[in-house]
Amino acid sequence: MRSDPLTDEQREIRELVRTLARERIAPRAAEIDESAEFPWDMVELMREHELFGLAFDEAHGGSGAGSLMLLVAVEEVSRACATTGLVLAVQELASLALRLAGTDEQKNRYLPRLASGEWIAAYALTEAGSGSDSAAMRTQAKRDGEEYVLNGSKRFITNAGVAGLYTVFAKTDPDGGHAGISCFVVEADAPGFEVGRIEPKMGIKGSTTGELFFNDCRVPADNLIGEEGEGFKIAMRILDRSRPGIAAQALGIAQGATDYALEYAKNRETMGEPISEHQLVAGKLADMETRCEAARGLLYKAGSMIDEDAPGLTKVSAMAKLFCSDTAMDVTTDAVQILGGYGYIKEYPVERMMRDAKITQIYEGTNEIQRLVIAREMVREARSSVLAEVS
């Protein structure tokens, strides 16, 4: 009996990615974390093996393998290196506006370069004063003939400084709230565009996170994605489809920590037996494995729903992101505990995994926001209690 919804072909791709992660990516993970430098060699590796194109249509240079297959790849890569897994996940995130709402001309111009990995992409929604509250953004875009002029700034942008293409959200109607937000493609060499401070971080240290500045930044009017005022709707459609990418990163971290803790526990002896035989340690390992498997079920369901364009994605996507990231934090904490003092030092990878796990509860919508989204969708559902008639 199959334990997952993958086809034989998808399982074969998973095995290829798993081998690549084990043999080529894992040996670089600690060095990437230590140097805090963007891993261009890992980008080149993923280009060579066409991982960037998994979720892109064949018409735009991808393999057409679908969103579920991309999530599987992000999970497998993140088991070895969360930074490298994030590069793959954000390429999907930052391309979705074009794929969902771009014109044919925009798609033909940009998507092949993203599918091949020739250009790294970034998604610029968050500002210093508008994280969960996107209506409070202050970056503006004003039409000036055949161009838009952007002014403002963005904060906490993944791939800042290394991306060739930025998906940027700005207010075309400053007083319009959510309805005043529009979406643009901004190339890295656009006049008036500048990358600011790159943040030193607790985890995923090889991934750049930084500020963007738009100082009378001019982009062609043709770079507007969708219509004016559609930016918020586009952003929400994107997040429904991109949050599972962070869930996949989180699950990969959790599974990698579980695997390492298990191997350590089988070989570390106290009181004359492996610590994996001690009930309290065995209980932790059992809980870690169970949580990973449960998280994988939610993740794969979300991926299948994206591929099938199934209704109810908003709720399941939020659930997958919430549960996988909470699992990553809980599991990596337990992994450090199982290793004891060794778990707290950099020679062993679980301390890095614990640091990497934390951000998955924060970006792409904090887990507090995910709980609000899930509850909101529950209230909207047409369902009732089996006890509703009992009084």
- Active-site entry in 15, 364, 368, 377: 364
Same domain assignment for residues 219 and 256: no
**Quick check: 194 pLDDT over 80?**
yes
Same domain assignment for residues 244 and 293: yes
Same domain assignment for residues 81 and 125: no
Same domain assignment for residues 278 and 361: yes
Same domain assignment for residues 324 and 239: yes
Tell me the C-alpha distance between 92 and 54, whole Å. Answer: 9
What end-to-end distance do the CA atoms of the chain give, in Å?
A: 43
Pairing relation of β-strands 269-270 and 224-225? unpaired
pLDDT at 108: 98
For residue 387, tell me if it sits in a domain.
no
Could you tell me if residue 271 is left (phi over 0), alpha (psi between -120 and 50 degrees) or otherwise beta?
left
pLDDT tens digits, 274-319: 989 999 999 999 999 999 999 999 999 999 999 999 999 999 999 9
pLDDT at 390: 58
pLDDT at 384: 80
Long-range contacts of 40-47 (CB under 8 A, 24+ apart): 42/81, 42/83, 42/84, 42/87, 43/87, 43/117, 43/120, 45/20, 46/77, 46/84, 46/87, 46/88, 46/117, 47/116, 47/117, 47/118
Same domain assignment for residues 223 and 242: no
Contact 230, 184 (CB under 8 A): no
pLDDT range class, residue 272, cuts 50, 70, 90: confident
Tokens of 214: 């738009």
pLDDT tens digits, 132-164: 788 889 999 999 999 999 999 999 999 999 999
Q: DSSP states of 120-136 as a string?
A: -EEEE--BTTBSS-GGG
For residue 163, tell me if it sits in a domain.
yes
Same domain assignment for residues 371 and 302: yes
pLDDT range class, residue 119, cuts 50, 70, 90: very high
**Quick check: 3 pLDDT over 70?**
no
* Bridge partner residues of 212 (DSSP): 154, 195
The answer to whether 9 is a known catalytic residue is: no
pLDDT tens digits, 198-249: 999 999 999 999 999 999 999 999 999 999 999 999 999 999 999 999 999 9
Same domain assignment for residues 100 and 209: no
pLDDT tens digits, 47-102: 999 999 999 999 999 999 999 999 999 999 999 999 999 999 999 999 999 999 99
Neighbouring residues of 223: CB distance < 8 A, sequence distance ≥ 6? 106, 148, 184, 185, 186
pLDDT range class, residue 2, cuts 50, 70, 90: low
CA dihedral sign, ordered 264, 267, 272, 278: positive
Count of other CB atoms within 10 angstroms of residue 199: 13
Write the CATH number for 145: 2.40.110.10
Count of other CB atoms within 10 angstroms of residue 10: 16
Same domain assignment for residues 212 and 250: no
pLDDT at 269: 80
For residue 388, tell me if it sits in a domain.
no
Contact 17, 73 (CB under 8 A): yes
pLDDT at 195: 98
Same domain assignment for residues 108 and 129: no
Same domain assignment for residues 174 and 107: no
Please identify, among 229, 252, 274, the residue that sits at the C-terminal boundary of a domain.
229
For residue 225, tell me if it sits in a domain.
yes
Same domain assignment for residues 373 and 272: yes
Q: Measured at the alpha carbon of residue 156, what is the angle toward residues 348 and 249, in degrees to the nearest 5?
A: 45
**Quick check: 13 pLDDT over 60?**
yes
Give the three-state DSSP class for 159.
coil
pLDDT range class, residue 388, cuts 50, 70, 90: low
pLDDT at 134: 83
pLDDT at 270: 87
pLDDT range class, residue 383, cuts 50, 70, 90: confident
pLDDT over 70, % of the chain: 98
Q: Specify the number of domains making up the chain.
A: 3
CA atoms within 13 A on the CB side of 81: 28
pLDDT range class, residue 254, cuts 50, 70, 90: very high
Please identify, among 115, 146, 170, the residue that sits at the C-terminal boundary of a domain.
115
pLDDT range class, residue 5, cuts 50, 70, 90: confident
For residue 74, tell me if it sits in a domain.
yes
Cα 213 to Cα 97, 160, 190, 295, 352: the distances in Å are: 21, 11, 11, 38, 31
Q: Measured at the alpha carbon of residue 197, what is the angle toward residues 191 and 203, in degrees to the nearest 5?
A: 130
pLDDT tens digits, 22-52: 999 999 999 999 999 999 999 999 999 999 9
For residue 305, tell me if it sits in a domain.
yes
pLDDT tens digits, 175-186: 999 999 999 999
> 343: domain range?
232-380
Tell me the C-alpha distance between 243 and 207, whole Å. Answer: 18
Write the CATH number for 102: 1.10.540.10
pTM of the predicted structure, to 2 decimals: 0.95
Please identify, among 71, 93, 115, the residue that sits at the C-terminal boundary of a domain.
115
For residue 80, tell me if it sits in a domain.
yes
pLDDT at 1: 46
Tokens of 31: 């060095």
For residue 146, tell me if it sits in a domain.
yes
pLDDT tens digits, 327-354: 999 999 999 999 999 999 999 999 999 9
